[in-house]
Every structure is written in C-alpha cells, then in structure tokens.
C-alpha cells in the first residue's frame, strides 16, 4: 500500500536541505551542519550506529511534520521543494516498509517500533485521502488528512523524545 503514497520527487538534496534547515534553526544531527560530502569511512559502520543515525533523522522528520510553524519555516528555507510531497518522500527514505523491519532494539524500543507502525498507518490513510499531486502547503494545512498526519507525527515525536536523539558517531549500545 505504501507504494501509492510515494509522491513526485522533490528537488532537494540532503546537504542543501541540511544547510538551509540549520540556517533557520531546525534541528539536524550534529555532524550535518556543513554542505560538504561526508568522507567515506575506512570500515562500514555497525547496524547499531546506522540505526542511531536513522533514528535521529526520524526525530527531525517528526519535528517538522508535527508542526505547521516548522513546516512553514522549512518551506521558506527551501521554496523549490514541495513540502506536502516531502512529507511522504522523506518517510519513504527513512522508514519504508522494506526498511522499517530493521528498526529493532536496543536503538528502537518496542514502543518506538509501534509508534513507527502507527504513523505509517496514518500516512497510508492520508495518502489514500489526498490526490496524487498534492496542493501547496498552505492549501494542505487545515485539511483533515494533513491534520491527521501532523497529529500522528506529534504523537510519534513524543514517544521518541522520551529517550531523545542518540550520538551520530559513537554507539550508545556497544556490543563488546
């Protein structure tokens, strides 16, 4: 069902959006404040560290999707990006059905895993209740599907913030 929710691609790139989000004060993981391409690691990172990074991205996602004010700031910072589509596309980037199953303990608590599944259900429902090509952000704000999505993001964010963001470079749950 999620396949139907994928919207036309936006013109954003992670580095451009990260730099612009930082400029307007939206939260981003600690080491994404420059527009430089990250250096390739000498060794692959662990599943734990990868999940910590995805967790941090999800928290940032829920922060802007849960707030009309943050949505407007994001839109102002990157006017060439279609925010309503971005809400669906970023979810697909961070938590598609094929990825979601890898978000397990200890990085994602059982409650957080359920919050992701609950949000996905609302996102799918909102997708079904909106046209494939979404209107601009200001036209979406106030609609029932958009408010449902915003409220679901707010609920997920509340659950995730009980433990907060994790370190970007150091495993919070070492295996040794």
Tokens for 122, please give them: 């609302």
Q: What is the torsional sign of CA 165, 104, 87, 170? A: positive
**pLDDT at residue 39, as a whole number:** 52
pTM score, whole prediction: 0.77
Residue partners of 117: CB distance under 8 A and separation at least 6: 100
Over residues 108-140, the pLDDT tens digits come to: 999 999 999 999 999 999 999 999 999 999 999
**What is Dmax (Cα atoms) for the chain?**
52
DSSP result, 40-102: PPSSPPPHHHHHHHHHHHHHHHHHHHT-HHHHHHHHHH-TTS-HHHHHHHHHHHHH-HHHHTT
List, for the chain, all residue ranges whose pLDDT scores fall below the cut of 50: 1-38
CA distance 22 to 143: 29
Tokens for 90, please give them: 């970023």
**pLDDT at residue 176, as a whole number:** 60
**pLDDT at residue 35, as a whole number:** 46
């Amino acid at each position: 069902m999620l396949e139907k929710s994928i919207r036309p691609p936006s013109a954003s790139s992670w580095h451009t959006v990260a730099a612009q989000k930082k400029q307007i004060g939206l939260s981003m993981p600690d080491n994404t404040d420059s527009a430089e391409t990250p250096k390739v690691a000498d060794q692959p990172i662990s599943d734990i560290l990868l999940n910590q990074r995805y967790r941090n991205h999800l928290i940032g996602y829920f922060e802007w999707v849960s707030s009309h004010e943050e949505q407007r700031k994001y839109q102002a910072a990157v006017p060439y990006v279609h925010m309503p589509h971005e809400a669906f596309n970023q979810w697909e980037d961070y938590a598609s059905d094929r990825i979601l199953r890898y978000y397990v303990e200890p990085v994602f608590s059982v409650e957080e895993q359920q919050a992701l599944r609950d949000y996905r259900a609302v996102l799918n429902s909102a997708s079904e209740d909106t046209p494939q090509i979404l209107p601009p952000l200001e036209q979406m704000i106030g609609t029932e599907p958009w408010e449902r999505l915003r409220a679901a993001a707010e609920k997920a964010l509340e659950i995730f913030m009980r433990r907060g963001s994790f370190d970007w470079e150091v495993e919070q749950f070492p295996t040794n």
